[in-house]
Chains A and B, each alone.
Chain A
């Protein structure tokens, strides 16, 4: 039987708060819009058939697994492989199609959660994977071994970043405290990342041996400088988001729930005072304002990264 066996990075609906899910959708929309424009320039008429078939490839490739230990099996997520093969923007489109159909048809990942599912598994994996791959490749030179080492590093790190981002989003939504979610996600995915790296390396080795020319598509994809800035921007965003709950002095968010449990069900804003004797140091809903702050911060960082890329590109072409 053929299964898709991705589990822990596909966030279902209900786990992300509405504000966090909304920010995810904004980020995803920005990434998709840019990716459509960039790949149109890169591929022209071929955009639809090539992206469509390669998306089907990643979908099917996720079903190819190998036994690791104790019934667990390794399999591919694919963002890094797609980015190494086709460039990061094309990889975003490919992963959008994969994750979109998984959510829409197979209920693998939620509909409102789609935004951050795409950011975690499609955008972060593609840009981080590609960035690490190209940096490592530049450091240790051309050749088969450098290709494989760079591919392994890119693949492993892409999964780790996706997992870390998932943990941060769950923490911001109040679904899991960061001090638990982050080590747990990072720990599990440090192992899953090894499976990702092994398969990516195997695939790259095979392509290198048979159709070496294909690997140049990804290396010469347009808007590389821009892609680098996006990767940096996303990394910064993640760091900012990870530290914001600590900075707020309320690592746990959602005090509303505690208030709800009080005496007679849900109460609106001012009624919180009733529960102040209950040991709650908060009035109102600090979670919501925190979310909004994080959302706005995210967008600012993202726009800055994008503007920096535009500026760099204009300077390069001048």
Chain B
């Protein structure tokens, strides 16, 4: 299970990475993840180079090389989805476990998937913690994502914490009314499900009615369905150099991954 605190992930800072143009960071992150994805299984040298890149970037954020590492295990539970590979991929047997055979090929593929996933998550974390949400959305808009979609997502994030607070209040009220013991608490499964459903319905109404009030307030202030934005500042030389360096590094390690 993933347990993610519903809180802003941004960490204040003035590092090189913090100051990079959001567009460059978004594109750079996507390129890194793409490189990790296309690398063949078992390209250990290239994986190592990817990890070095992730560590160096983490260090450059000023948050410490281990920062992303600590949080990079969020995707690990999903490994369960691939855990059967060592047993099901035919190949050179490594060991026998009960009636099952662990193959070298299967283990190699399993480890490769795990590593790729773990590396990708680290860089995705760095993007999220060094870029304010507002800037991420701005970058997305400048990267030609559909404007209405970007607007909706920005709007969602603005009210996310308001509604999360409402959800928390509902849950606190439920906890206060139904003594929480160990194991099952409250009535039957059906009853518990209905209570949770009622809370969701309640939250839905609050959200719906809030959105009406918001719309009316916006309309009263002259909103006509469009959000006006400032023209983007041009990319600096530092931004361009960072991107060129990053692409070169990724291209080289991809080459290494495929050749050796």
Residues of A within 8 A of B (CB): 1-8, 10-18, 21, 32-33, 36, 40, 44-57, 59-61, 63-69, 74-76, 81, 85, 93, 96-98, 100-101, 103-108, 110-112, 170, 174-177, 180-181, 194-195, 198-207, 210-211, 214, 252, 254, 256-258, 260-261, 265-266, 268
Q: Which of B163-186 contact A (CB under 8 A)?
A: 163-164, 166-168, 170-171, 184-186
Taking a contact as CB atoms closer than 8 A, the residue among B105, B120, B157, B166 that contacts A14 in the complex is: B120
Residue pairs across A and B with Cβ atoms less than 8 A apart, 28 shown, are A5-B3, A12-B75, A12-B121, A36-B146, A51-B152, A51-B155, A52-B153, A56-B207, A60-B166, A65-B196, A67-B185, A67-B192, A98-B156, A104-B124, A112-B30, A112-B33, A175-B85, A176-B84, A204-B197, A205-B201, A206-B204, A252-B89, A254-B41, A260-B41, A261-B91, A265-B260, A266-B42, A268-B259
A4 near B152 with CB under 8 A, answer no
Q: Which residues on B sit within 8 Å (CB–CB) of A11?
A: 78, 81
**CA A2 to CA B29, docked complex, whole Å:** 28
Q: Which residues on A sit within 8 Å (CB–CB) of B192?
A: 66-68
Answer whether A198 and B190 are a contact pair too, CB < 8 Å, given A3-B3, A15-B82, A46-B215: yes
Q: Which residues on B sit within 8 Å (CB–CB) of A13?
A: 33, 36-37, 75, 116-117, 120-121, 124
Q: Which residue of A lies closest to B180 (CB)?
A: A67
Q: Does B241 contact A (CB under 8 A)?
A: no
Answer whether A110 and B124 are a contact pair too, CB < 8 Å, given A7-B1, A14-B36: yes
Q: Does B5 contact A (CB under 8 A)?
A: yes
Answer whether A49 and B74 are a contact pair too, CB < 8 Å, given A2-B168, A17-B37, A101-B153: no
Taking a contact as CB atoms closer than 8 A, the residue among B6, B29, B109, B133 that contacts A174 in the complex is: B109
Residues of B within 8 A of A (CB): 1-6, 9, 29-30, 33-34, 36-38, 40-43, 71, 74-75, 77-78, 80-82, 84-85, 88-92, 104-105, 108-109, 112-121, 124-125, 127-128, 133, 136, 146, 148-149, 151-160, 162-164, 166-168, 170-171, 184-186, 189-190, 192-208, 210-212, 214-215, 218-219, 223-225, 227, 257-260
